[in-house]
Amino acid sequence: MDIFGTIASAIGLATTIKGYIDSVKGGKEHRNRLRDGLTALQFLLPLLESRLQPALQGINSVSPKKIEELQKIFTIYQEILDEIEKKLTKAEKKERKLLWPFDKDDIINKLEKLEKLASWVHIAIDVGIGEMIEQIHKDVYSVKGTMDTFTSQLADIFSSQQELHSSIKKANQDISYVKSTLDYHEREALANSLSSLDFGKVLAENLDAHTKGTGAGLIASPQMEGWMKGKPSLLWCRGNPGIGKTISLVIRALTEQNPATPVLFIYCNHTSQLATRNYLEAVLKQLLIYPFVTEGTTKAIKAMQSRPQIPDQKELQSILIKELSQHSRAFLVLDAFDEIFNETVRHNLVDLFGELISGGQTHVVITSRPHISSIKAEAILEIVADSADIRTFIISEIEKISILKRKPWEFKDKIIKEVQQKSSGIFLLAKLHMFTIHQKAKRGRPSDVTAALQGLHNNFEETYQDVLERIRQEDSESSNIFHHIISWILLSYRSLKIEELQSALQLMDRKYELDPSDFLDQEYIISLCQGLVIIGNESGTVSLIRKF
């Protein structure tokens, strides 16, 4: 098999493995990391093939010997992918799901090798095939002490130390972008010491909650398509509360389409008012985890962390701007800008966006409600309600309710039309209405569902009042628990984790020694609050569905 056949085989294996990942249970963190790595290879390897064509035709200076080395390297990686695929195909099943078949050390070892390959291919695309091979030489022989089996395999491919030293010298002259020498674990530890914020969990929760088949209109809009391709540099997506203007689908599309490009994101939340420095630290944390972060950035952050002083905002901003300037393209997404209440923080972030886009490489998108006046965008995308998306959401929710799923289509169609009409183009209303329908459907009587449909309102005020009235009609103990839950969520200085809320509720019962085995059940809390309270799957953060 020639090198093109080997690369094609690697792409095919990556595609097959990704098909298995979504049907696997367990190992979520490593599954997501594996999916990201495979997506990067699926994108990068075809670009590498286009680089190889002129090399094989003798148009550039890459020698046949180097092409032969490259062929052997990809054969090793093909074997790694093949091993992953075989383990997945032989995985045990539980409840129609495959069980994650890798132990932690094994999968981390494989992930690091795949990420290393992606970083080498990135160099080939940005600089050239020859420079990629020189960097591989450098990485292999920079290993201190005894080489592991994998590194020894690579070392055996290369013929002589003399060729190695001349190769490294040329690579150091030609590669303008020097990838960090820290491995993933070192970068992860440095990132976690920099910031405790994890916007990645918010992204994962939003994507988990996303209803398949909705939100495509946002990505397909001319303004968003243009921004994702580089013009304009700053796009403002604005819309009223509750219409489903989440930008998480755009973030996912960006990472899938640009696996070798930094895609950074910030989620603002009215319950967590942060300083500008906190946002900068959180974004730099994301960059540190990014496989292609430069050596200069990791060194600068390590030096900053070694000092006893709190990192300076200007220093953090300087590191961020310098790092992004070394990439041919980068994206920064900020969601819910209007939920930042501090005007100084808003002003600082607007100034940062201006600096970032002035370099030409970084493209910024902001979402907020329309009343914000401090954003000076090159283009504005008005987000409006999509009735087709709301209909898709309602159908999806009906399919989750086994009692309704079995009913005739005419009955289900009645629910769809009534809920859609009473939702007034607002996703949050549709969610609250469907929670009400779900509660009534538990009784199994169509007449209860029909009565509930007739009682739905087309606005938040009356819908909230109805929910509150139903809760008041519960027994006094349940009503008191509900009010304690809402009070803790609304009055807390920051967002609460579910365990923190459960602890607070236990203390309200005058139980001064916490007993987690006696906490109120999460499902009970959600059911009691009748859709007004949600718990993040990834972060465990408790939040209130609200209209403002």
Tally the domains of the chain. 4
Cis peptide before 232 (omega within 30 of 0): yes
CATH of the domain at 317: 3.40.50.300
Same domain, 516 and 538: yes
Q: Per-residue pLDDT averaged across 60-82, rounded?
A: 78
Distances in Å between the alpha carbon of 112 and those of 283, 356, 442, 457?
22, 31, 48, 53
Task: Choose between 180 and 413: higher pLDDT.
Answer: 413
Question: What 8-state DSSP symbol labels residue 306?
Answer: T
**Would you say residue 172 has pLDDT above 60?**
no
pLDDT for 280:
96
The model scores a pTM over 0.85: no
Boundary of a domain, candidates 451, 471, 491: 471
Residue-wise pLDDT tens digits, 294-312: 888 889 999 998 888 888 8
pLDDT for 59:
54
Q: Please choose, from the candidates 435, 542, 408, 433, the residue with its C-alpha nearest in 3D space to the C-alpha of residue 486.
A: 542
Residue 26 φ/ψ region, left for φ over 0, alpha for ψ in the -120 to 50 degree band, beta for the rest: left
25's CB contacts (< 8 A; 6+ apart) are 94, 95, 97, 98, 99, 100
pLDDT for 476:
81
Boundary of a domain, candidates 176, 201, 219: 176
Q: Please choose, from the candidates 179, 157, 167, 458, the residue with its C-alpha nearest in 3D space to the C-alpha of residue 295.
A: 179
**Would you say residue 171 has pLDDT above 50?**
no
* 3 state SS of 169: helix
Residue-wise pLDDT tens digits, 210-249: 888 888 888 889 999 999 988 889 999 988 766 555 788 8
- Mean pLDDT for the chain overall: 81
Task: Choose between 315 and 58: higher pLDDT.
Answer: 315
Task: Choose between 520 and 244: higher pLDDT.
Answer: 520
Same domain, 231 and 328: yes
CATH of the domain at 538: 1.10.10
* 3 state SS of 548: coil
Cis peptide before 222 (omega within 30 of 0): no
Degrees to nearest 5, angle at CA 483 with 478 and 488? 125
Question: What 8-state DSSP symbol labels residue 243?
Answer: S
Cα–chain-centroid distance for residue 299? 26
**Bridge partners of residue 294, in order along the sequence:** 179
Lowest mean pLDDT among 180-184, 190-194, 238-242, 429-433: 180-184
Same domain, 30 and 132: yes
The encoded tokens of residue 388 equal 């087709």
Same domain, 154 and 43: yes
pLDDT for 164:
39
Q: Per-residue pLDDT averaged across 144-165, rounded?
A: 48
Q: How many whole angstroms separate alpha carbon 203 and alpha carbon 106?
A: 27
Same domain, 91 and 230: no
pLDDT for 375:
86
Task: Choose between 318 and 385: higher pLDDT.
Answer: 318
pLDDT for 166:
46
Confidence of residue 342 (pLDDT cuts 50, 70, 90): very high
Q: How many whole angstroms separate alpha carbon 239 and alpha carbon 13?
A: 42
Same domain, 466 and 329: no
CB 152 within 8 A of CB 287: no
**Would you say residue 199 has pLDDT above 80?**
yes
CB 81 within 8 A of CB 17: yes
Q: How many whole angstroms separate alpha carbon 210 and alpha carbon 174?
A: 45
CB 281 within 8 A of CB 194: yes
Question: What 8-state DSSP symbol labels residue 353?
Answer: H
Q: How many whole angstroms separate alpha carbon 82 and alpha carbon 76?
A: 10
Same domain, 464 and 415: yes
Q: Per-residue pLDDT averaged across 158-181, rounded?
A: 44
Q: How many whole angstroms separate alpha carbon 134 and alpha carbon 138?
A: 6
Residue-wise pLDDT tens digits, 405-447: 888 888 999 999 999 999 888 888 888 898 889 888 887 888 9
**What beta strand segments (E) does 171-246 contain?**
234-238
**Bridge partners of residue 267, in order along the sequence:** 335
CB 328 within 8 A of CB 126: yes
**Would you say residue 181 has pLDDT above 70?**
no
Same domain, 335 and 251: yes
* 3 state SS of 379: strand
Q: Per-residue pLDDT averaged across 53-73, rounded?
A: 69
**Would you say residue 285 has pLDDT above 90?**
yes
DSSP codes, 113-153: HHHHHHHHHHHHHHT-HHHHHHHHHHHHHT--SS--HHHHH
What would you report as the CA-atom Rg of the chain, rounded to the nearest whole angstrom? Answer: 27
Boundary of a domain, candidates 437, 471, 505: 471
Same domain, 464 and 545: no
The encoded tokens of residue 158 equal 């290369």
**Would you say residue 165 has pLDDT above 60?**
no
Instruction: Report the run of H or E that residue 249 belongs to, with start and end.
Output: helix 248-257
Cα–chain-centroid distance for residue 340? 21
**Bridge partners of residue 85, in order along the sequence:** none
| Other Cβ atoms within 10 Å of 458 Cβ, number | 14
Q: Per-residue pLDDT averaged across 115-120, rounded?
A: 81
The encoded tokens of residue 223 equal 């303004």
Q: How many whole angstroms separate alpha carbon 38 and alpha carbon 13?
A: 9
**Would you say residue 462 has pLDDT above 50?**
yes
On the CB side of 62, CA atoms within 13 Å amount to 23
Same domain, 61 and 164: yes
For the chain, percent of residues with pLDDT exceeding 90: 18
pLDDT for 387:
84
Same domain, 202 and 168: no
Residue whose tokens read 């949600």: 534
Confidence of residue 174 (pLDDT cuts 50, 70, 90): very low
For the chain, percent of residues with pLDDT exceeding 70: 86
Q: How many whole angstroms separate alpha carbon 268 and alpha carbon 339?
A: 6
Domain hosting residue 167, numbered range: 3-176
Same domain, 279 and 337: yes
CB 236 within 8 A of CB 333: no
